[in-house]
Amino acid sequence: MTMKKHIYSCTLLSDVVISSTSATEEKHQTLPYIPGSYFLGIVAGKHYEEENMERAYALFHDGVVHFGDAHISMDGTKKSLKTPLNLFTFKDVTDSPVWQWHEKENAFKDYPNAQPKQIRKGFVNGITIVEPKRDFNLRTAISEGTAKEGALFGYESLQAGQTFVFEIMSREASYLELVKAALTGHQRIGRSRSAAYGLVNVEWLREEPTASIEVEKGERVTVYAEGNLVFFDENGHPSLTPTAAQLGVSSGKLLPEFTQMQTRNFALYNTTRVSRDAHLYIIEKGSVFTVEVTEDATLVSEKLVGGHIASGFGKVRYNVSFDIDRMQTETKGEEQLDWQPPFEMPNVPHDLTSISGLVEAKQVDANRKASREVLDKYKNKQAFKAISASQWSSLLAKLEQANDEYLRKLAQQSSPETLSGEQIKQATSALNHFINTDQRRLEWEQTGARKLLEVVLLEASKIKPLEASTMKPLEAEKLDSWPLFFEALRHLFKKLRAQ
């Protein structure tokens, strides 16, 4: 069964943040492309069903379906390719020729003293090297309605308005149709999706056939890495030195002297598990290998090789040609970023349910802030200063334990209104029991902290939801008072522990 290839476009309706590294220090940088794992994640979010694990495994793990990386497109229909690493130019030479590494002897004839420079950045679009347009925005974390000290950070992002093109490949037509239904339309990808980033529109464009090429014994074949490549040796260990067979040429010999590649390691992020997978050692896209064929063979022009095929790795092309013969020094990628395809922001009707949810969430936050302020007046009481940090930690642990019990009962379909009152009584009793039986109970008694804490617990149990005049008042039964009780005491105990 032949491999089928579906072509999609992905138009950025807002800026998109695709982090190039998991590091949180230093300046944030975005990848210049959209990894295929993001599109896999969209489909997995809709079709990863435990009752049909065989299909889920085939779609998202076994490599039956390949979710390719999305590269910048100048016309919105054709995918550009990462600039191959075997292309070089001459440094500080006006109108320098572009030559391939295996042609270096001929290239240096006209420029004997010139210094070669590898073209590492950008994507090839016809005869031009382009880069996607990026933006950078500074942000700050918020703490209780104000800017948090020392929490200034910034995001570099792919700028809205650009179109990227990618492919989905599989031999199973039914899987391709399932992916098409799940993937097309408005989607959200990348980081900080709740902060105005990540809105894209995915469209199915067409189906493309895959061609074949004939190669003869002794002929040299260039293997171009359209996607990142992951290989393992015979012992299952990561390998950065693939064989000709691993590159898809079963009868061939790799020529290292005509090979140009870059490597790095990173870990894929799994949104569902909220963690990163094991680190992968990859050969980066744009790497070029040269293989000498030892027997006549027929090669498919595009092939999937190596591991992690499903999440965008493994795409190679054979004998792909790049028609760049000159590199103008005044024509740099940064100066070509002004291109932007026309698009209109979709007119989406307001979701009244979401808006009312936001209003309610804002009201809940106001209630919790008000409940903390009620108890903050006890923060600097002299009677509490003799109590050690470990004692406050023990009290906080008792409170957290009571909250875990509340959440467990709530999950069992218990009534929040009834459960709230019972939970406050039980938690108050547990905290009082602790200060009356702990080995340092004399200090609690002598400083007057015990009586004062009893007053604190009494006031905390009386906290009621705040009705803000600027928004629709929240009915008391919609917000049971246990969250206020718990949040207020947790806030106070933490501050007292830090004194």
Other beta carbons within 10 angstroms of residue 24's beta carbon come to 8
Question: What's the pLDDT score for residue 151?
Answer: 66
Phi (first) and psi of residue 248, to 5 degrees? 100, 0
**Do both 330 and 407 map to the same domain?**
no
Residues with Cβ within 8 Å of 299's Cβ and at least 6 positions away in sequence, in order, are 212, 213, 215, 221, 248, 249, 318
Residues with Cβ within 8 Å of 192's Cβ and at least 6 positions away in sequence, in order, are 17, 155, 198
Q: Does residue 343 lie in a domain region?
A: no
**Does pTM top 0.75 for this prediction?**
no
**Do both 306 and 264 map to the same domain?**
yes
**Number of residues in the chain:** 499
**pLDDT, tens digit, for every residue of 198-248?**
899 999 999 998 888 888 898 999 999 999 999 998 888 889 999 999 999
CA dist list (Å): 233 to 149, 242, 291: 49, 8, 19
Handedness of CA 229, 235, 237, 243 (dihedral sign): negative
**Do both 159 and 13 map to the same domain?**
yes
**Across the strands, what pairs with 149?**
none
Q: Does residue 310 lie in a domain region?
A: yes
Tally the C-alpha atoms within 13 A of residue 468's C-alpha that lie toward its C-beta. 15
**Do both 162 and 56 map to the same domain?**
yes
**Do both 192 and 245 map to the same domain?**
no
Q: Does residue 346 lie in a domain region?
A: no
Question: What's the pLDDT score for residue 467?
Answer: 53
DSSP string of 237-302, one letter each residue: -EESS--TTTTT-SSEEE-GGG-B--EEEE--EETTTTEE---EEEEPTT-EEEEEESS-EEEESE
**Do both 116 and 15 map to the same domain?**
yes
- What CA–CA distance (Å, rounded) separates 189 from 204? 17
**Do both 235 and 304 map to the same domain?**
yes
- Could you give the number of structural domains in the chain? 3
Question: What's the pLDDT score for residue 339?
Answer: 37
Q: Which domain holds residue 252?
A: 213-318
Q: Which residues of the chain have pLDDT under 70?
A: 1, 21-27, 49-51, 141, 143-153, 193-195, 271-273, 325-361, 413-414, 416-417, 465-480
Domain of 286, CATH number, reads: 2.60.40.4350
Q: Does residue 486 lie in a domain region?
A: yes
